[in-house]
Amino acid sequence: MNFKLFIKDKIGIDRAIFYTLLNRTLSILTAVFTIVFIIRFLSSDQQGYYYTFGSLVALQVFFELGLTGIITQFVAHEAAHLTLSDNGTVEGEYKYKSRLSSLIHFCAKWYSYISVALLALLLIAGITFFSHYSKTDGTTNWASPWILLSVGTVLNFLITPIVSITEGLGKVKDIAKYRLILQCFNPIIIWGGLACELDLYVLGIFATFQALLMMVMIFNSPSGRLLKLFWNMDFTESISYKTEIFPYQWRIAVSWISGYFIFQLFNPVLFATEGAVVAGQMGMTIQSLNAIQAFALAWITTKVPRISGLIAQHEYEALDNLFNKTMKQLVCLGTLALIGFVVTIYVFQSFDLQIMGMKIGDRFLPIIPLVLMAWSVFTMFPINCWAIYLRSHKQEPLMINSMVMGILCCISTFTCGHLWGLYGIVIGFALLRIVSLVWVHRIYVIKRLEYRKK
């Protein structure tokens, strides 16, 4: 078989996935060397702040309320009835053009208002938390870096609807290319900043730069011309937030907020109970595992516009063929990556290996908690695939699952963390992932058939 055909048909790497994978491969390589720079230029306490910053920044989920993913799906459903060209022209029924224009205007208003509230929350929450739980006797400068990171986070929050709309218009390849360009700048900013002893400031500097560069790239491209065309278009028929978006969004919002309690509580709880060092180990482990998960999810996330389009056109046989093949590729490759990561850290820790005098293994969780966290990420491979498939129908059947698992994980993290520390947290989390895996699969089997009967 021709090698190019093997890559595309068997492994499933098309052009959009290629750019996304290249981006995420660079992301993983950057993360690996970033770990080295963090170990070299940040103390163990600063590492704890570094990753706990990330967990608190994730509070933006309470303001985004799941709208980002919804935008891509709604735009894809409308764009499926239009013909878009790179020279900035659109052909198709006025109804779909009008509805797309109304959605873009709605997003601009929504994110503009909400961003102000988000900035206020981040500043208040971060300053309050670190002032109360900081145990470094003032030796770590965290206040100014936190303020800068909060501003950078809000700028990225404002750019997310533009990215989502662009992807929904079928420009997944373009966004993947832009993210690849951003990824190329990551080492310059993060490594350079750490080497110049900017310490925790590098997070805010990077977030601000990332948002501004993405905005420039989109608006100076054919995708930007399309966005401007829809923005300037008069619309009489609009997508109703009350009757179309909100009934779907509030369910997604519950799932996303539940996700915060499932995945983002570890660092703050460990920071408060066991100190910055253990929180830093958890943060570095989660960052590495999230990079692997993001790498694997490229196979399914790049297919969202196509999946949504097939659903809108009721082409279910093509839909199933695409989805099943993509999910198989994702799970297999993601599993191999997880195994490689665990084995690598095990070797570093078991043989006390050093790189340039730095004990990298000591900055990660011990091997048993690390394996349990890796297992938890493995369960997310099929769960995310099933969730994307079902949500592409503009439905949210996982709300109850997400809410219950969020509550249970929150209880488990606080209770087990207080009683048994790190090991209690990771064991409780791993057991809950088994429950979630079985439950979500059951929902997928039932809802998949139900949606086709409508």
Encode pLDDT of 92-110 as tens digits. Answer: 888 888 888 888 888 888 8
| Residue 14 pLDDT class (50, 70, 90 cuts) | low
pLDDT digits (tens, 9 = 90+) for 113-130: 999 999 999 999 999 988
Write down the pTM of the prediction. Answer: 0.71
- What is the model's pLDDT at position 21? 67
| Mean pLDDT, range 31-56, rounded to an integer | 85
Alpha carbon distance 140, 319 (integer Å):
53
Alpha carbon distance 181, 171 (integer Å):
16
* Amino acid at site 323: F
Residue 153 has pLDDT above 90, yes or no: yes
C-alpha dihedral (105, 107, 112, 113), degrees to nearest 10: 100
pLDDT digits (tens, 9 = 90+) for 60-71: 877 877 788 788
pLDDT digits (tens, 9 = 90+) for 339-360: 999 999 999 999 887 776 777 8
What are the C-alpha distances in Å from 193 to residues 181, 187, 188, 189, 370? 19, 9, 8, 6, 29
Q: Which of 86-90, 178-182, 231-235, 277-281 has the lowest average pLDDT? A: 86-90
Alpha carbon distance 360, 35 (integer Å):
8
Residue 174 has pLDDT above 90, yes or no: no
β-sheet bridge partners, residue 358: 355
Residue 5 has pLDDT above 60, yes or no: no
Alpha carbon distance 205, 412 (integer Å):
35
- What is the model's pLDDT at position 150? 95
pLDDT digits (tens, 9 = 90+) for 185-224: 888 898 999 999 898 999 999 999 999 999 999 888 888 8
| Residue 242 pLDDT class (50, 70, 90 cuts) | confident
β-sheet bridge partners, residue 82: 92
Residue 12 has pLDDT above 60, yes or no: no
Alpha carbon distance 411, 283 (integer Å):
20
The proportion of the chain whose per-residue pLDDT surpasses 70, expressed as a percent, equals 92
- How far out from the chain centre does Cα 234 lie? 34
Q: Which of 260, 288, 259 has the alpha carbon at shortest distance from 365?
A: 288
| Residue 445 pLDDT class (50, 70, 90 cuts) | very high
Radius of gyration of the chain (CA): 22
